[in-house]
Amino acid sequence: VANNAIMIAKPHPMASTGNSLSQSNLWLIDNNWLNEKNVSLYEMLGASDCLLTDVSSVVIDYLLLDRPVIHTFADLEEYTTSRGFTVSPIEDYLAGPVVTGMAGLLDTMAQLIAKKDLEPEKRKKLLALSHTYKDDKSTERLMLLVGLKSSDDPS
């Protein structure tokens, strides 16, 4: 509240609580909330300043915005030893710092609020690994690929 920041948390649909919550500067939303407000998740992401996530694939899309990502993973050690990851070490493939507890999360968020961008070079590296195109022409390329537009069409 002191820094006037707002945190909007949207759990994965499989983990959804089924209830929206709004308490001062913390909002817990779900798909129903988004539908009621006629807002898509990607509109919310586009309006955000930072993404807090575990290892969700939404990070790949968020990289295009070149905005900070914080990976919140309280059970990273347990997850690594039980399920594991397809790449190792996983920290090399995460777009920002990994926090495993509330103290680390609050400290990292305070740094971001103070305008200290964390690990921008790591985001750039992952962007290059995950995206061939970084422009706004994907729909046009898709239309050309499936034959809905010709290459000599001026529109």
For the stretch 34-48, pLDDT in tens is 999 999 999 999 999
Distance of CA 121 to the CA centre of its chain: 16
pLDDT in tens, 61-116: 999 999 999 998 888 888 889 988 999 888 899 999 999 988 999 899 999 989 89
Residue with tokens 């964390």: 118
Taking 80 as the threshold, does the pLDDT of residue 12 lie above it?
A: no
CA 58 – CA 17 distance, rounded (Å): 20
Query: Whose structure tokens read 């006037």?
Result: 4
Summary mean pLDDT of the chain: 87
pLDDT at res. 22: 59
DSSP symbol at 27: E
Spatial neighbors of 128 by CB under 8 A, at least 6 apart, are none
**Pairing mode, strands 26-28 and 21-23:** antiparallel
Residues β-bridged to residue 146: none
What 8-state DSSP symbol labels residue 23? Answer: E
What is the reported pTM? 0.82
CB-based contacts of 52, cutoff 8 Å, min separation 6:
7, 9, 69, 70, 71, 72, 105
